Amino acid sequence: LFYVLAQCLGAVTGAGVLHLVTPAAARGSLGVTEVNSQISVGHGLLVELLITFQLVFTIFATCDPKRTDLGGSASLAIGFSVAIG
């Protein structure tokens, strides 16, 4: 119970500090995942589609129990895929 309360207090304190140090103009979209305003919706959708395909393909390729030629770490390969994408 003490741990949960400490986590909640830390979260509220961190949000308050972030609110104080962030300029008012940036607060409206702070933490929002969005594409650049110079990129069209179709282009953004295509990029997201390709990155998602890369991640899913990596997961399926490294976690297939029928593959016997895998010698590395599946979690490392998936982590690299997330970092690259």
Instruction: Quote the pLDDT of residue 28.
Output: 79
What was the pLDDT predicted at 66? 80
pLDDT of the residue at 68: 75
Q: What is the pTM of this model?
A: 0.62
Band the pLDDT of 74: cuts 50, 70, 90.
confident
Could you identify the residue written with the tokens 């016997």? 68
Three-state SS string across the chain, please? CHHHHHHHHHHHHHHHHHHHHCCHHHCCCCCCCCCCCCCCHHHHHHHHHHHHHHHHHHHHHHCCCCCCCCCCCHHHHHHHHHHHC
pLDDT at 52: 94
Q: What pLDDT, in 10s, does the model give residues 21-57? A: 988 887 877 778 888 889 998 999 999 999 999 999 9
